[in-house]
Structures are given as C-alpha cells and as structure tokens.
A and B are shown apart, each in its own frame.
Chain A
Amino acid sequence: MIVLPDSASMAIMSEGARVYPNECCGALLGTADGSGGRVVSEILPIHNGREAEEQFHRFVIGPDDFMASEKTARARGLDVIGFYHSHPDHPAIPSDYDREHALPWYSYVIVAVESGVAGDLTSWILDCDRSRFLKEL
C-alpha cells in the first residue's frame, strides 16, 4: 500500500497542469519496507523524452534519466519507489500501452488533466502475471 502525502499529490497535479496539453512524468522518491508498504516523501519531475509531437499521449524516461533518478534518490537517503505521469484529456486509468511497458513492484501514479485542470489522481501496481494493473489508490 502506498502513502502519498497531500504535498506530493499537489505537486504532481500542478506538474500535470503546467505541462498540459502534453504528458508530464517523473519519479516518486520515498521509502519502502519489505512487505509492500511504501511512503512517498517527494517527487522528482523528469523531462519527457518522447518527440515533441508525441508528448500529448506518450512519455518516456530514458535509461540515463532512470539512472540519474536513482542516484538523486540515494543522495537524499531515499529510493525510487515508482513513477507518475499525466493523462491529458483522458481518465486516470492506465492504458494497455502503460501496462505493456510497466515493471512489477513500482507504484504508477496517474493524474487526469481535463482542459488544463488536474482532477483525479490514482495509483496502480502491475499484477505479477502482467495481465492487469491493481489499483492501490
């Protein structure tokens, strides 16, 4: 189960609104215990690595940015426990594309941004057989 403090969810919503009509993305930094519990302490916005004309419905955090986020987390005594992105003018429900590119264990936070205004915010974990996401928030 994930604990996402208001400060973190507000920061994700404001990123989503700022980057609209494109998708924003970033890492969730925090702590994880050994039994599935995790607490987000802060978010780390990361630039969307997709081509500009694809960013309205796609994001990518490339391997170099991934390694940089882990390094930042470690320097702050934290771990990367998941990632967030926005769905401009789409509901906060993971797409099949999200699922096909997901890794197990991480929390995936999605914020819906409707006409530039951030609304629903949800969090998901990939099921172990990759067949679906399980909603955690």
Chain B
Amino acid sequence: MPITIQIPTALRVFTDRKSEVRANGATVAGAIADFAASYPDIRQHLYDEDGTLRSFINIYLGDTNVKNLGGLDTPLKDGDTLMLVPAIAGGSCPR
C-alpha cells in the first residue's frame, strides 16, 4: 500500500531534507517500519532498544492521532498520509 509520511523538521536531517517520503505498509506499524528501513539512521530516534516505538512519537492519519483509531494496527489504504508528530518532554529529575 503506497502511502506518504510527513516528516517533522527535526528529523529531516535523516531524509535528505525531504519533508515527505513514500512508504509501503498495510498498517501504520508496517509503513513506519518500511520508512525506518529506508532511512536506517532515523531508527534509533523512532524506536527504543526493545524495538518499541518511542512514547513521544505520535503518528497522525490525516488529522487524527492513531492512538484514537486502531493504534499501530490501524489499516492503511492507498494514498493515505501519515504525519510524525513528536511530543516534547523532559524534567529536572532522572526518574
């Protein structure tokens, strides 16, 4: 399923400055994995050491956070657009 992924400014250093890239996948998880395989340097910023998508990476299908749809298992159709949207988090204490 060919789809489009929109890339936030901070991650465009890994996509040759492209603001959107093409990827393939039947689900959100599949499309993101396909994208990460095409741009391997981005992988560590999207996934933690266990291969789980980092908690601060949000994925929007159109205007909707996929957390409010079927999560990473949300099915995609031809021509869908996903947007990677980070949350910015931090704080003074280590844990």
**Chain A residues in the interface with B (C-beta under 8 A):** 23, 25, 49, 57-63, 66-67, 70, 79-80, 83, 85, 87-90, 94-98, 101-106, 108, 128-130
Contacts and interface: CB of A to CB of B under 8 A. Distances in A.
A57 B91 contact: yes
Nearest to B17: A34
Interface string B37-70: 0000100110000000001101010000100000
Contacts, number: 88
B9 A79 contact: yes
Main SS class of interface, B: mixed
A23 B91 CA distance: 8
Contacts of A57: 91-93
Interface residues on B, range: 20 to 34
Contact of A87 (B9, B10, B88, B92): B92
Contacts of B60: 63
Contact of A60 (B8, B44, B87): B87
Nearest to A56: B92
B11 A59 contact: no
Interface string B1-36: 000000011110100000000000000000000000
23 contacts: A61-B87, A63-B86, A85-B90, A85-B91, A87-B92, A89-B92, A90-B93, A94-B90, A95-B91, A95-B93, A97-B91, A97-B94, A101-B55, A101-B56, A102-B90, A103-B11, A103-B56, A103-B88, A104-B10, A104-B11, A105-B9, A106-B10, A130-B45
